[in-house]
C-alpha cells in the first residue's frame, strides 16, 4: 500500500485556498439571469458564468492560436479515455482531475464556437455524439475498478441514466420541443464524479497511514448519488416532454 500523506496534505491546502478564491469570485460575478428556476440545473447561472469567465482569457488565447472548437471536442474525448484508464487503475485523484478537465474542455469548445462564429449544426452533432462516447469511456473505466463490487450496479445505472438524459432531450428536440430542464445535466455529472473521485483519492492518501488502507466509501457514495440524480433527471425530462407533447396534441 503506497501512502503519500504529505503530498496529499499539500494538495488539500492548495485546493482549500482555491475554493476560498473561487467562492470570492462567484460572489463577485454578476449575471443577467434572475433567480434559479425550479427544476433547473444543480449548478446555478452565477457559478456557470463565473467558470466561463475564468477561462475567458484562455479561450481568447486559443482563438488567437487558431484552435478550432472541434480540436477541443476531440481533446475532451481523449482526456475522458485517459480518465477511464485512470479509474480502471485506481488512480482516483488523477481520474477526478481528468474528469474535471474533460468537463472544462467541453465547456471551452462551446465558448470557442461562439467566439469564432464557427457554431454549426455539424459541430453541435459531432459534439453531442463525442460527448456520449466520452461519458461511456469514463464509466467503462469506473466499471473496471468496481468489477468485483456491488457498486458496479450503480456504475451501470449511472451510465445508462446519463445516456438517457441526453437521449430524451435529443428525441424531444427531434419532435420539435425545447427541453433544457434537468437537475444533473452534463456539467453537473462531471462535477459530481470528478470531485467525488478527487476527494476520495485525497482522503485515501491522508487516512492511509492510520487505517493501513485507502478508503473508497466516498467514491462509492458518489457513484450511487450520481446514479440517483441522473435517473431522476432522465425521469424528470421524460415527464416534462410527455406533458409538453400532450399539451401540443390537445391543441
In whole angstroms, the minimum distance from the beta carbon of 61 to another protein comes to 5
In whole angstroms, the minimum distance from the beta carbon of 201 to another protein comes to 6
| Catalytic, out of 131, 149, 240, 249 | 131
Interface of this chain with another protein, residues 7 to 66, rule: CB under 8 A: 7-8, 10-11, 14-15, 18, 21, 54-58, 60-61
Q: Which is nearer to another protein, 97 or 190 (CB)?
A: 97
Q: Which is nearer to another protein, 37 or 60 (CB)?
A: 60
Interface of this chain with another protein, residues 61 to 120, rule: CB under 8 A: 61, 86, 89-94, 97, 101, 104
**Cβ atoms 237, 165 nearer than 8 A:** yes
Interaction between residue 141 and another protein (CB under 8 A)? no
Cα–Cα dist 124/141, whole Å: 26
Q: Which is nearer to another protein, 115 or 183 (CB)?
A: 115
Cell of 102: 474533460
Radius of gyration of the chain measured on its C-alpha atoms:
19
**Cβ atoms 190, 97 nearer than 8 A:** no
Cα–Cα dist 62/110, whole Å: 13
Give the distance, in angstroms, between the CA of residue 159 and the centroid of all CA atoms in the same chain. 12
**Cβ atoms 206, 12 nearer than 8 A:** yes
Cα–Cα dist 167/106, whole Å: 18
131 in active site: yes
Which amino acids are annotated catalytic?
131
Residues near another protein (CB under 8 A) are 4, 7-8, 10-11, 14-15, 18, 21, 54-58, 60-61, 86, 89-94, 97, 101, 104, 201-202, 205
Amino acid at each position: 500500500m503506497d501512502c503519500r500523506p504529505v503530498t496529499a496534505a499539500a494538495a488539500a491546502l492548495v485546493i482549500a485556498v482555491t475554493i476560498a478564491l473561487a467562492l470570492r469570485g462567484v460572489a463577485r460575478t454578476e449575471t443577467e439571469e434572475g433567480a434559479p428556476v425550479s427544476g433547473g440545473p444543480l449548478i446555478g447561472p452565477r457559478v456557470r458564468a463565473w467558470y466561463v469567465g475564468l477561462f475567458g482569457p484562455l479561450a481568447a488565447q486559443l482563438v488567437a492560436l487558431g484552435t478550432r472548437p472541434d480540436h477541443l471536442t476531440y481533446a475532451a474525448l481523449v482526456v475522458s479515455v485517459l480518465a477511464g484508464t485512470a479509474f480502471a487503475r485506481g488512480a482516483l485523484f488523477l481520474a477526478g482531475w481528468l474528469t474535471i478537465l474533460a468537463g472544462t474542455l467541453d465547456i471551452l469548445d462551446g465558448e470557442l464556437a461562439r467566439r469564432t462564429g464557427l457554431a454549426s449544426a455539424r459541430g453541435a452533432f459531432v459534439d453531442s455524439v463525442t460527448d456520449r462516447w466520452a461519458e461511456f469511456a469514463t464509466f467503462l473505466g469506473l466499471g473496471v475498478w468496481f468489477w468485483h463490487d456491488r457498486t458496479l450496479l450503480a456504475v451501470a445505472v449511472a451510465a445508462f441514466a446519463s445516456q438517457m438524459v441526453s437521449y430524451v432531450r435529443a428525441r424531444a428536440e427531434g419532435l420539435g420541443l425545447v427541453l433544457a430542464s434537468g437537475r444533473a445535466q452534463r456539467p453537473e455529472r462531471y462535477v459530481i464524479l470528478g470531485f467525488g473521485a478527487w476527494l476520495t483519492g485525497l482522503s485515501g492518501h491522508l487516512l492511509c497511514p492510520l487505517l493501513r488502507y485507502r478508503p473508497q466509501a466516498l467514491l462509492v457514495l458518489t457513484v450511487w448519488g450520481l446514479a440517483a440524480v441522473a435517473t431522476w433527471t432522465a425521469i424528470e425530462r421524460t415527464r416534462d416532454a410527455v406533458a409538453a407533447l400532450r399539451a401540443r396534441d390537445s391543441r
